[in-house]
Amino acid sequence: MSAIAVNPADASADPRIPLRNHLRHTGALIRRNLLWIRQDPESMFDAILFPVIFTLLFVYVFGGSIGQSLGGGQEAYVQYVVPGLLAMMGMNMAQGVGTGFNTDFHTGVMDRFRSLPIGRASVLIAKISVEMMRMLVASAVLMVVGVLVGFHIHHWLGMFAAIGLSAVFGSALMWVFLTLGVTMKSAQSVQAMGFLVLMPLQFGSSIFAPTQSMPGWLQNFTDYNPLSALADAARGLMVGGPVAHGTLLTLAWSVGLTAVMAPISIYKFRTKT
Residues that bind another protein (CB under 8 A): 1-9, 11-17, 21, 24-25, 27-29, 31-32, 35-36, 39-40, 107-109, 111-118, 273
C-beta of 27 vs 241, nearer to another protein = 27
Q: What are phi and psi of 54, to 5 degrees?
A: -65, -45
DSSP string of 132-197?
Answer: HHHHHHHHHHHHHHHHHTT---S-HHHHHHHHHHHHHHHHHHHHHHHHHHHHSS-HHHHHHHHHHH
Residue 134 C-beta: closest distance to another protein, Å: 16
Residue 172 C-beta: closest distance to another protein, Å: 27
C-beta of 11 vs 259, nearer to another protein = 11
Residue 38 C-beta: closest distance to another protein, Å: 10
Half-sphere exposure of 98 (CA within 13 A, CB side): 32
C-beta of 62 vs 105, nearer to another protein = 105
Residue 40 CB neighbours (<10 A): 9
- In whole angstroms, what is the distance from residue 79 CA to residue 90 CA? 19
- Greatest Cα pair distance, the chain, in angstroms, is 78
C-beta of 117 vs 215, nearer to another protein = 117
Q: What are phi and psi of 139, to 5 degrees?
A: -65, -40
C-beta of 112 vs 185, nearer to another protein = 112
Contact criterion met (CB below 8 Å) for 261 and 179: yes
Residue 175 C-beta: closest distance to another protein, Å: 22
Residue 130 C-beta: closest distance to another protein, Å: 13
